[in-house]
A and B are shown apart, each in its own frame.
Chain A
Amino acid sequence: MSVIRRNIRRATIALSLGLMLAACGNGNQDSSNMIKQLPKALASIGKKPQPSGIAPEQIGKALAASPAPMGLFTLEARQAQFIMFEIERNGAHRTFGSASRQSIAFRGGMMTATRGLGGDLMSSEGAALYALVSGRRAGSARYDMRFLTPEDKTVTRSFDCSTTVAAEIPVQIGEINAQTRAVVATCKSDGFSFTDAYAVDKAGRILSARQWLGDALGYVSVQMLRY
């Protein structure tokens, strides 16, 4: 094939691939929106995520804007910080959400599930562990965490956790001002282990927590601003 014909063909294919970003219609736009996101997604491969922090004034503003319980969250692996406030309570669980449509579910002050963060913790069985932590007792408990695989199957990771009670820590941030004890939970399974840390006050409320929420999320910490 002549060089000219080959180049015309290459140009036409490139043009049509470009046109794909401009596909239009009046029906469901989900897939065309997804295709339009591709250039941005491809450009950001390998780029480090931008760290985002929350300044103290923002904390003050958030507390003033809503009477609901709220917390300051930090995703350590992505150096991302955000504030979420309580949007629903169901039995022993409460759900905190943000305007960017992400949510984290709690049992008291212990995180039990996440949504919208990518590689989410789908659900967990932590009632026994919660009883130990909130009661500021040493002991051991079983702790299950459930995740979705890329194949859309659910995997359950079971851990044996043992708690120890450590030093006294004062917690003073937002509307929280209390004396707490640090409770450390070390969880092991099949040669892998992680350590969660909690600051629990006399009434059994978990006012701060640093928990491992899975391979994708890593360690996430929450500091209650208003319990």
Chain B
Amino acid sequence: MFERLFTSISEKVSLTDEEFEICKTLFQPKKLRKRQFLLQKGEVCKYTVFVEKGILRSYTTDEKGNEHILQFALEGWWMADLYSFFTNEASPYDMDALEDSELLMITQSSWSLLLDKVPALERYFRILIQNNLIATQRRLMGAMSETAEEKYTKLVESFPDCIQRVPQHMIASYLGITRETLSRTRSQLASRK
């Protein structure tokens, strides 16, 4: 139940067995079925979530009913609306499961307690936030300046698993391109091979 979380932590910091046991007491295990919601627009994001198994997505829906996907979270990834999580303000996002998923969820108060009891995790979360900031900057630059082909190629190289498991229309939404453009781009790339 905690295998991937502990692997993720161990890749960045060293914890004792006792510290891992403390972690187990502060995370809430949760199974979410495909298409069930974790969070809906207008609610406060009470948990930050680690994905042990499955895929989550966070997205908004515009007035025309079009979905705009902000993020996917596969096994070993974290997901939350951090602004809502830390400020207790309503989230503009929906979050749901694309597959049957197994999650580890932690509230803000439990997270603060966790960092008090296991100070080494301050470094772990600092590294995660650092990496997230870098990735967000790159994605922002990519959204402004990259071609559809460049965006898609980058995604395939970085997250090949995502391409296999996520429907194409959602990939298009995430990349900020139309389904038709994505389809054309994939055909062009395939024909060059």
Say if A and B assemble together: no
Give B contacts to A, CB under 8 Å: none
